[in-house]
Structure 1
Amino acid sequence: MTTIDMHTHYVPRGWPHLQQSAGGGDDWPWLRIESEREATVMIRSQEFRRVQSQCWDADARLADMDADGVDIQAVSPTPVFFSYARPADQALKVARIFNDLALEICAPAPHRFLPFCQVPLQDTDAACAELDRCLAAGHVGVEIGNHVGDRDLDDEGIIAFLQHCAHVGAPVFVHPWDMPSAPRLDRWMAQWLTGMPAETHLSILSLILSGAFDRLPEALQLCFAHGGGSFPFWLGRMDNAWHQRPDVVGTSQRPPSHYVNRFCVDTVVFDERALRLLVETMGAERVMLGSDYPYPLGERPVGNLVRKATFLNEDERRLILGGNAARLLNLQTAVMET
């Protein structure tokens, strides 16, 4: 059984000075190196996230993968680097820097690390061009944030980008980011504990109720992080609203539950009861292993929840641990041979 972790991140051990490379103000992320194994991503003088060598060191990642029984990682950017709020030309320069660094991080084990790129999603043409450049260079897919300012995934420009992803066969990993800040959310990690699930839920709903899924090609391969957020739990409420108030609830041709076969979700839910709901709602063929490695809120050992889940049969377990991701990544042959 090949095990594929669809939700991991990287941070390079340093990058060019972004104000000099891309322009703009002095609030670009930078890395404060503290030792060979530790560093902190900074925004000006504020700490954003402490990171360790697993973020950039292939050997450290491989050691953890071997310890956890993970064969392949999809390696995605850390969303703080997306730069969607900046002018598109600046975001493109930053995307190119980090996309090229991602290839360097993954190069020591190309059959085990599958890099996903980032794009300047605020500019459709630039995003499509950067995706094409990255696919030619060795990336296998793209990670996008779940919104660009007030533009959600049903925005016409983002829909055009998603249509391009379907055309070129690039899987899309959607990660929540840029959660609202408010006094009630700025304590207890509430932005991460409530904001992230809500952001993901909202963006899935935008694709459904706007009618975007009715227009997007079925060939589009979408995977949403963190188990789809709160979407699976509230699917019944959404269906009820669609039936009871069709005058105000969206323009989709069918109720929300009709569209669960149009996207996948990862397993970053941490509890067997939540995983059971996820599988019962989405179907075992639409759920795939994710960990949020190497960050502290991720799962370790990776895949422990799926391997120990008492309600899964072995066929379902095999699909979730690797088979579904292999299909999304077009790795069926390699997985079957393994």
Structure 2
Amino acid sequence: MIDVHAHWIPAHCFEVPGGVTLRVRDGEVFYGDVPLQLSAGDLTDPEVLLEQAAARGFTASVVSAPPISFALGSDSAAVEYCARYNESLGALTRNAGGRVVALGNLPLGLPGEALAMLDELASRGEFAGIAIPPMLGRLRLDQDPMRSILRGASRLGMCVLVHPMQLPGPGLGHHYMQNLLGNPVETAAAIGAVLLGGVLDELPDLRICFVHGGGAAPALLGRWDHGWRARADVRGDLTDLPSQAFRRLYLDTLVHGVDQLRLLTAVASDAHLIAGSDHPFDMGDRDPAFHLREAGLDPGGLRAGALNFLGERGAAWINDQKGPIDHG
């Protein structure tokens, strides 16, 4: 199988401009004062990435910056940071023998520079697409500048992975609720923006994946369909029912339970389901094959979905490199 949801950060990118600096204390990585329950090597060592992928049944990984490494500032430091991150990820990918495909990091707070960097990444074979947050400040994916980034990705044939950022919110300041509830809600809100905002109608060739199984969205599709039928302001920019448009999205299978996977398979397109691990974070899946097998998902179908998401550029990179290649 191919893991479409894996993360890596080089040590020289621990300090994110305008963000929170990652620090290592007694061998453990902290995000500010929050322990990530990771060693520095878990995040930075390419061999750990490859070994863990193999241990979980993956023979190729699609690697992106975790959301703590999204540089969203609006100054030149963000541009320099993203360029430095992308250069390091590109080098890792070129040296991984076809076992890694890269998703680039963009300085989204500077839309012109971000689009220029997107064009540059598209000229490099090891980059199949980009990873982005579900919103930029208060701006949704159906609003500029994020919509212009999606237009650029579609024009260039680059795929897009949307990853939540664990943003603070009311009632979420306890028991890791910013992650447990906040992340699924962020992802659902982003999906709502893409569907109801008409992004897929404008960009029918856009290949966009929402991680963690689309967050809370699968459980909300019935409500969204009702709203689409009942209210003109809901259906104004979307020609199909939300549940029908939802099947055009790619979703990873990281939902942490067989019943949740069965819900996902009931509402998503089989051809658009792809496996993900969230390596190396604690909310990842240490044994993804178990849940996939128990839910009756075919590894070959998940591999095909991943290759479709990656497009010709990403599929060629996996298949053309020397080394252990995934043949399903």
Give the TM-score normalised by the residue count of structure 1. Answer: 0.86
SS where residue 178 of structure 2 aligns?
helix
Q: 1:327 aligns with which of 288, 308, 318?
A: 308
Q: Aligned partners of 1:155 and 1:119: how far apart in 2?
A: 17
Give per-residue Cα distances to partners, 1:275-302, cap 9 Å, x unaligned. Answer: 1111110121111101111111100123
- 1:136 aligned onto 2:116: no
Contact kept in structure 1, 2:252 and 2:274, CA below 8 Å: yes
Q: Aligned partners of 1:337 and 1:235: how far apart in 2?
A: 35
Q: Which residue of 2 aligns with 1:213?
A: 200
Q: Which residue of 1 aligns with 2:155?
A: 167
Q: Aligned partners of 1:29 and 1:297: how far apart in 2?
A: 21
Q: 1:318 aligns with which of 300, 303, 307?
A: 300
Q: Which residue of 2 aligns with 1:7?
A: 5
Give per-residue Cα distances to partners, 1:174-233, cap 9 Å, x unaligned. Answer: 001152334x211111011111111111111111212222212x2111010110011111
Query: What does 1:24-103 correspond to in 2, within 5 Å?
Result: 28-32=20-24, 34=26, 38-43=27-32, 46-47=33-34, 49-52=36-39, 53-84=41-72, 86-103=73-90
Contact kept in structure 1, 2:247 and 2:267, CA below 8 Å: no
Q: 1:300 aligns with which of 279, 283, 286?
A: 286
- Which consecutive unaligned segments of at least 5 residues does structure 2 have? 320-324
Percent identical residues: 27
Q: Aligned partners of 1:120 and 1:17: how far apart in 2?
A: 15
- Between the two proteins, the alignment pairs up a number of residues equal to 317
| 202-211 vs 134-143, which moves further | 134-143
Q: 1:233 aligns with which of 208, 213, 219?
A: 219
Q: Aligned partners of 1:289 and 1:5: how far apart in 2?
A: 5
Q: Which residue of 2 aligns with 1:254?
A: 240
Q: Which residue of 1 aligns with 2:255?
A: 269
Paired letter, 1:40 = V
The Cα shift of 1:163 comes to 1.2
Aligned-CA RMSD value: 2.3
SS where residue 63 of structure 2 aligns?
strand
- Which consecutive unaligned segments of at least 5 residues does structure 1 have? none
CA 1:97/1:51 → structure 2, altered by over 3 Å: closer, same or farther?
farther
- 1:244 aligned onto 2:230: yes
The Cα shift of 1:131 comes to 1.8
Give per-residue Cα distances to partners, 1:140-176, cap 9 Å, x unaligned. Answer: 2100000001001001321121111111111100001
Q: Aligned partners of 2:161 and 2:48: how far apart in 1?
A: 24
Give per-residue Cα distances to partners, 1:231-250, cap 9 Å, x unaligned. Answer: 11110110001111224565
Query: What does 1:182-201 correspond to in 2, within 5 Å?
Result: 182=170, 184-201=171-188
SS where residue 303 of structure 1 aligns?
helix
Give the TM-score normalised by the residue count of structure 2. Answer: 0.88
